[in-house]
């Protein structure tokens, strides 16, 4: 039987800004029914271009693509090909056609010309598969991102495809939404035998796969099962991908203790491996069981104790005290957005704000520059109470720069320089000063002034546009920069670059407030972290304090960093002291190495020469 998908020497070239771009340069690939394949690669590697060839949205410039034996170049099979290979894209909002969930799911079957009864059956079946049946009569704009994306998947499933292509379908979702979508994909693969092809730049999503393909420069640079592939850390880095901390930890431990398995993929696997190593020893002596119980006890008592914000004697630069805000206030549609948020920011700090989507964290930070007014509570900015009508809001907005989520969506000027200059010009500064500020702001985000000022804004790459937008805020020379999900949707390379520039700003004296879903990122850079849940500040403290309460974080829908999860599992077994502070790779490596050394029976430490391989 012919394979489900067969691709032979596929080349694809397109015209962009007057030049020819070779997006794909000779891809050969076969995918069988029931496989779970992950396509990794940074932006511009050609992974999405390849995905769009799978259902004839793009046709090869050279070479062939066969789906179920149909060549995609033959237009008469278009309907069959597209109903065989279903695609889900990045932005759920741009895929949902109808204004009622079930009518949207019916869109595909309607296009296939099915009978009304059959459409109804399929709509119900596919909504059921993605756990969205109770929402069938809802309007899509009232759903969360993860729910919307599941509706999109249902819309594709209703055509009963053999293959489901997820083209960066998780990139714009929060961790919960991402989990929801991956869970559905996994289930469809296992239970319904649907072939999954997931295009992503999140390495962690590749863990589920049977096979991982890494695209680079329009070619397949690496492929194999995740376990073997993830061991090639240096090679993956060279391809601008992020290696999960878990893989790095496993290999670091393997280098020191060759018996430690190098190919572990999840925090649970690491913890299990460490426990297994220690168990052997424990069985020999049995001495630790008593100690373990005692530790478990201590763990439990600690959970009851609540952390308080460490109050400094200095007055804070920014403060929200018991702030509440309601949307659509005074209408029948009034909803509570936040009800008791407390945040204090001191000069020179880096503050992290975490909370799942809808927790109110974005609403909270919009009080810092007076975009929103507190309905209850107080907002203090630079020693002024914003409730005071005498406060000059423009001055406040200049002092507290606010960078929104996907800020590139606010660019409007034709030339980069003019867009960055919008703020300073509105402020009424002279041309010399404007020029100087624009130069400083652009260079602070790594856009050389002379090279970029006359570039056309809308033809820059996504990462560059985001930096232009941030420069537009920096040109106001704020004392505090508030960033709402600054790296969301960027590929690892662009993300690292942007974070570097943001940290440089901090070194130059800018105080930072960062909202993020990326716990690893926050754990490494923040002085303090605030956790917002359901419109309230529920935790505050140093990363060590906050992440040591992993169970509570999970209860409000947040994940602790992977390293903390490993540590928590070990603490639960009494292998690590309950008060051990572990949230970075280095901390985890040191603690586990020490633990393994202490239990050294089964493990031999590698000679020093080999450690530094």
Partner 1 sequence: MNISTRSIVVAGVLIAISAVLAYTGLGYFPVPNVTAAATILHVPPIIGGVLEGPLVGAVVGLVFGFDSFIKFASTVTTSPAYANNPTMGWVAAFIIIFLPRLLIGPAAWWVYKRTRGGNEIVALGAAGVAGSLTNTVLVVGLAILLQVFTFEIVALVLPQAVFEAILAAVVTIAVVAAWKRIEIGRGGSSV
Partner 2 sequence: MSEFEYLRNVTIGQYIPTESTVHRLDPRTKLLAALFVALAATSTRSVLATLLLIGLLMGVTRLARIEVRYVLRGLLPAAPFVAALMLMQLLFQGRFSVCETVYWEWGFVRITPCLIELVVLGALRLVIFLFLVSLLTLTTTASHILHGIETLLAPLQRIGLPVHEFALTNIIALRFIPIIAEEMERIAKAQASRGGDFGGAPWWRPDRMARARLPLIVPLFVNTLRRAEEMVVAMEARCYLGRKGRTKFVDLHFTGLDWLVIGLSVLLWVVVWRTPWPTFT
417 belongs to the binding site for partner 2 (CB under 8 A)? no
Q: Cα separation of 478 and 168, whole Å?
A: 34
The C-alpha angle 443, 448, 454, rounded to 5 degrees, equals: 120
What's the Cα-to-Cα distance from 369 to each of 348, 515, 543, rounded to whole Å? 18, 15, 26
Binding to partner 1 (CB under 8 A) within 423-442 occurs at: 431, 434-435, 438
509 binds, among partner 2, partner 1, none (CB under 5 to 8 A by kind): none
404 belongs to the binding site for partner 2 (CB under 8 A)? yes
For partner 2, the closer of residues 152 and 563 by Cβ is 152
412 belongs to the binding site for partner 2 (CB under 8 A)? yes
Q: Angle formed by the axes of helices 416-426 and 431-444, to 10°?
A: 120
Instruction: Mark residues 472-511: x for contact with partner 2 by CB under 8 A, - for none.
Output: xx--x-----------------------------------
Count the residues in the chain: 613
420 belongs to the binding site for partner 1 (CB under 8 A)? yes
For partner 1, the closer of residues 109 and 417 by Cβ is 417
Binding to partner 1 (CB under 8 A) within 197-256 occurs at: none
Provide φ and ψ at 259, rounded to 5°: -80, -15
Q: Cα separation of 425 and 416, whole Å?
A: 14
For partner 2, the closer of residues 190 and 394 by Cβ is 394
Work out how close the CB of 417 gets to partner 1 at its nearest, in angstroms, rounded to a whole number: 3
Work out how close the CB of 103 gets to partner 2 at its nearest, in angstroms, rounded to a whole number: 6
Choose, by CB under 8 A, the member of 158, 246, 416, 483 that binds partner 1.
416
The owner of tokens 């530790």 is 295
49 binds, among partner 2, partner 1, none (CB under 5 to 8 A by kind): none
User: What long-range pairs does 412-415 form, CB within 8 A, spacing at least 24?
Assistant: 412/457, 413/457, 414/456, 414/457, 414/458, 415/453, 415/454, 415/455, 415/456, 415/457
For partner 2, the closer of residues 255 and 375 by Cβ is 375
Choose, by CB under 8 A, the member of 330, 389, 509, 609 that binds partner 2.
330
Q: Cα separation of 43 and 167, whole Å?
A: 12
Q: Cα separation of 265 and 29, whole Å?
A: 25
Q: Cα separation of 576 and 567, whole Å?
A: 7
CB 496 within 8 A of CB 42: no
Choose, by CB under 8 A, the member of 458, 579, 590, 610 that binds partner 2.
458
459 belongs to the binding site for partner 1 (CB under 8 A)? yes
For partner 1, the closer of residues 413 and 477 by Cβ is 413
Choose, by CB under 8 A, the member of 128, 413, 524, 605 that binds partner 1.
413
Q: Cα separation of 19 and 367, whole Å?
A: 46
407 belongs to the binding site for partner 2 (CB under 8 A)? yes
53 binds, among partner 1, partner 2, none (CB under 5 to 8 A by kind): none
Work out how close the CB of 408 gets to partner 1 at its nearest, in angstroms, rounded to a whole number: 13
Choose, by CB under 8 A, the member of 73, 302, 394, 500 that binds partner 2.
394
Pick the piece of the chain touching partner 2 (CB under 8 A) from 86-94, 290-298, 299-307, 490-498. 86-94
Provide φ and ψ at 217, rounded to 5°: 55, 35
Binding to partner 2 (CB under 8 A) within 352-371 occurs at: 366, 369, 371
Choose, by CB under 8 A, the member of 12, 89, 230, 547 that binds partner 2.
89
End-to-end CA distance of the chain: 46
What's the Cα-to-Cα distance from 20 to each of 2, 15, 26, 49, 62, rounded to whole Å? 34, 5, 16, 15, 14
Residues 6+ apart with CB under 8 A from 391: 370, 384, 385
For partner 2, the closer of residues 485 and 589 by Cβ is 485
Sign of the C-alpha dihedral computed for residues 147, 149, 155 and 158 taken in this order:
negative
Residue count, binding to partner 2 (CB under 8 A): 75
Work out how close the CB of 440 gets to partner 1 at its nearest, in angstroms, rounded to a whole number: 12
Choose, by CB under 8 A, the member of 17, 18, 141, 383 that binds partner 2.
141
Q: Closest by alpha carbon to 462, among 502, 503, 407, 416?
A: 407
326 belongs to the binding site for partner 1 (CB under 8 A)? no
The C-alpha angle 509, 511, 516, rounded to 5 degrees, equals: 135
What does the block give as tokens for 303?
Answer: 């959970």
459 binds, among partner 1, partner 2, none (CB under 5 to 8 A by kind): partner 1
Pick the piece of the chain touching partner 2 (CB under 8 A) from 154-162, 264-272, 346-354, 491-499. 154-162
Choose, by CB under 8 A, the member of 59, 98, 324, 580 that binds partner 2.
98
438 binds, among partner 2, partner 1, none (CB under 5 to 8 A by kind): partner 1
What does the block give as tokens for 99?
Answer: 């204004």
SS3 state of residue 514: strand
Work out how close the CB of 97 gets to partner 1 at its nearest, in angstroms, rounded to a whole number: 9
CB 130 within 8 A of CB 96: no
Pick the piece of the chain touching partner 1 (CB under 8 A) from 141-149, 230-238, 264-272, 449-457. 449-457
Q: Cα separation of 585 and 438, whole Å?
A: 38
Work out how close the CB of 429 gets to partner 1 at its nearest, in angstroms, rounded to a whole number: 11
What does the block give as tokens for 241?
Answer: 């991908």
Pick the piece of the chain touching partner 2 (CB under 8 A) from 114-122, 270-278, 378-386, 532-540. 114-122
CB 466 within 8 A of CB 489: no
70 belongs to the binding site for partner 2 (CB under 8 A)? no
Binding to partner 2 (CB under 8 A) within 115-134 occurs at: 115-116, 119-120, 123
601 binds, among partner 2, partner 1, none (CB under 5 to 8 A by kind): none
CB 274 within 8 A of CB 570: yes
* Residues contributing to the site for partner 1 (CB under 8 A): 412-418, 420-421, 431, 434-435, 438, 453-454, 456-459
């Amino acid at each position: 039987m012919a394979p489900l998908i067969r691709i032979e020497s596929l080349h694809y070239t397109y015209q962009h800004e007057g030049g020819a771009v070779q997006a794909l340069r000779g891809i050969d690939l076969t995918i069988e029914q029931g496989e779970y394949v992950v396509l990794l690669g940074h932006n511009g590697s050609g992974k999405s271009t390849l995905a769009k060839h799978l259902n004839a949205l793009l046709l090869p410039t050279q070479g062939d693509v066969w789906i179920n034996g149909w060549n995609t170049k033959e237009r008469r099979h278009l309907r069959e090909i597209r109903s065989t290979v279903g695609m889900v894209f990045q932005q759920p909002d741009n895929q949902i056609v109808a204004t009622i969930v079930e009518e949207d799911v019916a869109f595909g079957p309607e296009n296939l010309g099915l009978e009304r009864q059959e459409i109804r059956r399929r709509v119900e079946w596919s909504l059921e598969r993605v756990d969205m049946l109770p929402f069938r009569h809802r309007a899509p704009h009232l759903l969360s991102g993860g729910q919307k994306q599941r509706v999109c998947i249902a819309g594709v499933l209703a055509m009963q495809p053999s293959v489901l292509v997820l083209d960066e379908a998780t990139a714009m979702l929060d961790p919960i939404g991402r989990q929801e979508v991956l869970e559905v994909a996994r289930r469809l693969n296992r239970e319904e035998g649907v072939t999954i092809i997931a295009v992503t730049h999140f390495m962690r999503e590749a863990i589920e796969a049977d096979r991982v393909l890494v695209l680079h420069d329009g070619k397949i640079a690496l492929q194999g099962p995740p376990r073997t592939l993830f061991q090639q850390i240096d090679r993956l880095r060279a391809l601008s991908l992020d290696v999960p901390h878990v893989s790095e930890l496993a290999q670091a431990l393997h280098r020191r203790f060759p018996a430690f398995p190098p190919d572990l993929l999840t925090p649970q696997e690491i913890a299990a491996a460490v426990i297994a190593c220690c168990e052997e020893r424990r069985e020999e002596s049995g001495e630790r069981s008593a100690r373990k119980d005692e530790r478990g006890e201590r763990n439990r008592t600690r959970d009851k104790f609540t952390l308080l914000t460490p109050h400094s004697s200095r007055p804070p630069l920014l403060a929200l005290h018991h702030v509440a805000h309601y949307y659509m206030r005074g209408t029948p549609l009034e909803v509570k957005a936040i009800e008791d948020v407390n945040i204090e920011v001191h000069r020179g700090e880096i503050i992290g704000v975490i909370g799942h989507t809808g927790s109110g964290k974005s609403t909270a930070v919009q009080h810092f520059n007076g975009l929103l007014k507190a309905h209850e509570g107080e907002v203090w900015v630079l020693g002024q109470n914003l409730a005071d009508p005498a406060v000059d809001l423009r001055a406040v907005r200049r002092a507290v720069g606010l960078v929104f989520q996907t800020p590139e969506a606010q660019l409007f000027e034709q030339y980069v320089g003019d867009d960055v200059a919008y703020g300073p010009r509105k402020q009424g500064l002279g041309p010399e000063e404007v020029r100087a500020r624009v130069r400083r702001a652009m260079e602070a985000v790594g856009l050389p002034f002379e090279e970029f000022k006359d570039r056309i804004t809308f033809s820059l790459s996504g990462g560059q546009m985001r930096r232009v937008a941030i420069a537009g805020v920096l040109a106001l020379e704020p004392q505090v920069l508030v960033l709402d999900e600054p790296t969301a949707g960027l590929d690892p390379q662009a993300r690292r670059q942007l974070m570097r520039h943001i940290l440089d700003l901090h070194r130059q004296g800018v105080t930072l407030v960062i909202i993020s879903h990326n716990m690893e990122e926050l754990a490494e850079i923040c002085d303090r972290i605030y956790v917002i849940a359901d419109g309230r500040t529920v935790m505050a403290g140093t990363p060590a304090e906050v992440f040591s309460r992993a169970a509570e974080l999970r209860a409000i829908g947040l994940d602790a960093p992977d390293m903390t999860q490993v540590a928590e599992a070990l603490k639960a077994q009494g292998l690590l002291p309950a008060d051990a502070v572990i949230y970075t790779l280095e901390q985890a490596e040191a603690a586990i190495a020490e633990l393994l050394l202490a239990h050294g029976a089964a493990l031999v430490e590698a000679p020093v020469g080999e450690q530094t391989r």
